Amino acid sequence: MNQKSGNPILQKAAVLLKQYPKIEELEVLCVDISGHFFGKRYPVDKIKSFIQDGLAFPMSMFVLGTRGESLDDIYYGTEDGDPDAHFNLIGDSLAVNNWGNKPRLQVMATSVNDGQPVFFEPRNVLSHVLNSFEKNKWRPMVAFELEFYLFDKNRDENNLVQTVRNPKTGQIDTATVLSSSRISDFEEVIDDITAACKLQNIETGAISSEMGAGQFEINFNHHSDVLRAADETCLFKRVVMEIAKKHGMMASFIAKPVLEQPGNGLHMHISVVDKKGQNIFAAGDKPHPRLMQAIGGLIDCMPAAMSFWAPNINSYRRYTGGSNCAPVSLTWGNENRTVAFRIPLAKDNAWRVENRVPGADANPYLAMAITLASMLHGIKNKLEPGKACQESVKGRDQNLPLNLASALSATIGSEAFIKLLGRDFIELYCQHRESETFAFEQYISAREYDWYL
């Protein structure tokens, strides 16, 4: 490969192939509505033609179900002849993965159809919302926080997950929040995760053991490139699951994998800067009214946003209230981890809001898109959030949909989201989740016989 080429992706590929001369294959990856990767593996020399001409995948890949199957009542892929869309490589996603039997090049791709971004690709949905901020000469600054569980690679006799064993002691892991010993005992898998992230150009931050047995959190740094931040979050999930396999474990980002244990959250910290780089949420030692309006928008849109922040049936098992800090109310507060929208302690005018509602099973692109759209809705309409909650919030809010069916009903009727994201996307998304829910429920478990036979 000629490194003298002026194309920056080709130059980067040439550098990586010089570092890893035995690389023979290239993986091209995209993210669907369910938040899962699809793609193909190619000979590495195909990258030059892909950079110049792009490549093709069926456009319907974005609307397949969680198990990669076609869903009933979805037009794309069934009624339209299943055409291809054109895909272009995302240059800054080119990296190396090293968890397989040999290292490979890896790159993400994004879609267009008839010269326009495919409106139901999740990455394009987020890009559309960011364009609305750009029209106001604003730019969000974001950081994701993602919790996950490590389990034993084998399930028990009832086909349920088993708590992972401590790699150094051989004992079943116990829940000790912020335990330095737990991080040390799991350091081989954690070190491999962070090393693989570094290889993928993902900057990781704080590492902590969480409230559940086998549960950990690895944070990411604040990012001025929101699309890249969401790319990294999706890639991080893949890294964790693949590295866990190498260590004889199974990683899971399911929202509530064990009823007796805390759920997995996807927390998002967001501030917004103007064209001069000034935080529009800051007013010296207090927050600017715009921050209050943004939180007002989040609260106003929260019922309609739940189907994006909690997109699966299991997602709603996480919202039990009480000590696990998964918000179940239309609330905000300062330094209060039981509210939905928290204002963390601000230092040097770093005022921001933390969205604590989404589960780790949410699609990062869509969860962030809906969050930003809600904030923009609040700022534009000067919505007020009401009084801050000073005490722990444990009760469920009766106005908050806490099952997927009622959440989708709220989404389909949201004029704010229809205005900001488009009616076509909102209707397609709701149909997608309804169709998958129907497919999921077409199953009779042993419990039905135990209860009703």
Please tell me the predicted confidence (pLDDT) of residue 241: 97
CATH of domain 131-452: 3.30.590.10
Residues in the chain: 453
Domain ranges within the chain, ordered by starting residue: 8-118, 131-452
Predicted confidence (pLDDT) per residue in 356-382, tens digit: 999 999 999 999 999 999 999 999 999
CB 63 within 8 A of CB 33: yes
Predicted confidence (pLDDT) per residue in 380-403, tens digit: 999 999 999 999 888 788 889 999
Looking at the predicted structure, is the pLDDT value of residue 3 above 50?
no
Looking at the predicted structure, is the pLDDT value of residue 167 above 90?
yes
Mean pLDDT (the chain) is 94
| pLDDT above 90 coverage of the chain, percent | 87
What 3-state class would DSSP assign to 288?
Answer: coil
Report whether CATH 3.10.20.70 matches the domain 8-118.
yes
Please tell me the predicted confidence (pLDDT) of residue 129: 98
CB 197 within 8 A of CB 204: yes
> At a CB cut-off of 8 Å and minimum separation 6, what does 105 contact?
13, 16, 17, 23, 25, 26, 27, 44, 47, 94, 95, 96
**Rounded Cα gap, residues 302 and 309, in angstroms:** 9
CB 70 within 8 A of CB 80: no
Global pTM value: 0.96
Q: Which amino acid is at 269?
A: H
**Rounded Cα gap, residues 204 and 39, in angstroms:** 25
Q: Quick one: tokens of 349?
A: 């005018």
Please tell me the predicted confidence (pLDDT) of residue 321: 61
- Among 101-115, 140-154, 389-403, which stretch is predicted with the lowest mean pLDDT? 389-403
**Rounded Cα gap, residues 277 and 295, in angstroms:** 21
Span 71-77, average pLDDT: 93
- Among 219-233, 239-253, 310-324, which stretch is predicted with the lowest mean pLDDT? 310-324
The DSSP symbol for 359 reads: B
CB 110 within 8 A of CB 124: yes
Span 106-128, average pLDDT: 97
Q: Which amino acid is at 346?
A: A
Looking at the predicted structure, is the pLDDT value of residue 159 above 80?
yes
